[in-house]
Homo-oligomer: A and B are copies of this chain.
Amino acid sequence: MGRIITLLTDFGTADGYVGEMKGVILSAIPDAVIVDISHALAPQDVDAARLTVARVWRKFPRGTIHVVVVDPGVGTERIALAVEVDGRLLVGPDNGVLSPALISPGARTVALAIPPDAAPTFHGRDVFAPAAAALARGRSVDSMGQPYAGAIIRRTPEPRRVESGHIAGEVILIDRFGNAVTNLVGRRDMIVEVGGLELPISRTYADGEPGQPLALVGSAGLIEIAVRDGSAAADLQLSRGTRILTRHAFDTVRTVSIR
């Protein structure tokens, strides 16, 4: 059984870019097990890639190699990274997409050498896929380049306490269902304030009536705003960066608009 290599890109599939990457990998190591995470990330959405990496990278077994290519700076002086941590390996551009692994204790990071004949417009095919294949064939991360300490780290913004006594967070992601995921770590005794509404924490997306907004603790532990059988993003006009306030259920501060 071959090594697992996952792919996460913003390439879509129709143009064949992902197909080329798969061909390069399988030509180098025919028994690799290629797993598509997604190719449907919004073009050049580095933060979406980072959040998806955060969700998935450690869910795969040790030995897995994650290839992450959302890379607006391809071909420039930006560094190409490989990192090994907690038994998993990741390769991708140095723009923050690999942050969840880079900040994990014990991460070993190298700057990959760029082959001189790599197309400056497609490092997915010419740098990252070959690097993943080399790692899958047993090359060590340390042998792939020089240690690199300057990797760019992007972080989800931290919630902070505001004058009213609330905790102010923000929407960090709208998912496919229109749920607005926030940067607020969920607790069952919170009240979430959004668009003039005060929402207690529900348990499931099906609590309440159809069309009714609700707040709940999502599967990554973060507060989400949802609308039963609807889209919270559309119905409540939420988007990335929209401010969300919370207070504990026993607090009595007045509702304030978050927009």
Binding site for B on A (CB under 8 A): 1-2, 4, 6, 8, 10-20, 22-24, 26-27, 30-31, 34-44, 48, 51-52, 55-56, 58-61, 64, 72-76, 119-122, 125-126, 173, 175-177, 203-206, 216-219, 224, 229
Contacts and interface: CB of A to CB of B under 8 A. Distances in A.
B43 A121 contact: no
Q: How many copies of this chain does one complex carry? A: 3
A206 B31 contact: no
A74 B228 CA distance: 12
B206 A74 contact: yes
Given A56-B20, A73-B206, A219 B14 contact: no
A193 to B, nearest CB: 21
23 contacts: A4-B30, A6-B19, A11-B176, A13-B36, A13-B38, A14-B40, A14-B176, A15-B52, A15-B173, A15-B175, A34-B35, A43-B176, A72-B229, A74-B204, A75-B203, A75-B204, A76-B204, A76-B206, A119-B218, A120-B204, A121-B204, A121-B219, A121-B224
A59 B177 CA distance: 30
Given A14-B48, A30-B4, A61-B27, A56 B19 contact: yes
A251 B103 CA distance: 53
Nearest to A174: B15
Nearest to A56: B19
B12 A59 contact: no
Nearest to A59: B23
Nearest to A61: B27
B206 A72 contact: yes
